[in-house]
């Protein structure tokens, strides 16, 4: 990172951003073609969990290349700087990470992953699922290999 004063090194602060963010932007690449898609997610034990349909571009790409990157940001605000464009700025806190994506196959593990995702957005527990829900949803587990945080306030 070029501007060291903006770097976040405290893992608790990085995890606070992950817990606060509502959207994760997932980056994938196959055959030198990038693809970024916003997803809902959950975070636990240095892993992200994402759900998706059982067909689609995201799955096709992960099956070919399971190395992924992701980004989340919070507290984003444009700071007006007067008539000079160079005086404008943005305040934010963000996380960028890399990892390996794997499909979760077993129903019990899918339920645990869905609970993690749901806890990210709601504190209403326990969560209920129909037995056939697990047939139609795919869970992607991303084992995080690196995380970095940045802030500009």
CATH number at residue 89: 2.30.110.10
The pLDDT score that the predictor gives to residue 134 is 79
The pLDDT score that the predictor gives to residue 2 is 66
More confident residue, 127 or 42: 42
Mean pLDDT of the region 86-104: 95
- Tell me, rounded to whole angstroms, the distance of Cα 45 from its chain centroid: 14
The pLDDT score that the predictor gives to residue 1 is 57
Instruction: Give the structural domain span for 69.
Output: 4-152
**pTM above the 0.95 mark?**
no
Q: How many domains does the chain have?
A: 1
Mean pLDDT of the region 105-123: 93
Residue 83 pLDDT grade (very low, low, confident, very high; cuts 50, 70, 90): confident
CB-facing half-sphere around the CA of 79: CA atoms within 13 A: 11
């Amino acid at each position: 990172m070029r501007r060291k004063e903006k770097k976040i090194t405290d893992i608790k602060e990085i995890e606070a951003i992950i817990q606060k963010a509502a959207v994760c932007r997932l980056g994938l690449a196959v055959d030198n073609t990038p693809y970024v898609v916003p997803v809902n997610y959950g975070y636990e034990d240095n892993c992200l969990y994402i759900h998706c349909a059982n067909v689609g571009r995201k799955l096709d790409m992960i099956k070919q290349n399971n190395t992924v990157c992701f980004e989340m940001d919070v507290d984003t605000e444009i700071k007006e700087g007067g008539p000079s464009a160079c005086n404008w700025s943005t305040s934010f806190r963000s996380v960028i990470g890399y990892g390996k994506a794997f499909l979760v196959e077993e129903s019990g593990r899918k339920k645990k992953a869905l609970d993690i995702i749901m806890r990210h957005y709601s504190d209403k527990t326990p969560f209920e699922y129909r037995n056939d829900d697990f047939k139609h949803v795919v869970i992607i587990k991303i084992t995080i290999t690196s995380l970095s945080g940045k802030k500009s306030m």
